[in-house]
Amino acid sequence: MPAVTVRGLSVETHRRLKARAAKKGNSTEAEIRLILDEAVRPVKKEVGLGTRLRAIGKKYGGFDLEIKRDQTPLEPAVFD
């Protein structure tokens, strides 16, 4: 397994790292591995439905959708 040595780490950073690890119940080394794994893991970007629909519309030349909102006031609900 590869090893990494970090030199010149400030005392404050080391103290905070140890506190963070202790709070999670990890060793300092395990916490460092978790931090590094998270930092280099590819970001999983999920595409929403609106973005997908927009891409489909763009593929076929797009379209203009004119929506007019009904401004009629709603009647209050009656519960008997």
Mean pLDDT per 10-residue segment, the chain (80 residues): 90 95 95 93 85 88 84 91
What backbone torsions phi and psi does residue 69 show, to the nearest 5 degrees? -80, 135
For tokens 């080394």, what's the residue?
Answer: 29
* pLDDT given for residue 43 in this prediction: 80
Contact in structure between 28 and 17 (CB atoms under 8 Å)? yes
* pLDDT given for residue 33 in this prediction: 94
Can you give the pTM of this predicted structure?
0.51
Report the alpha-carbon angle 45-47-51, nearest 5: 140
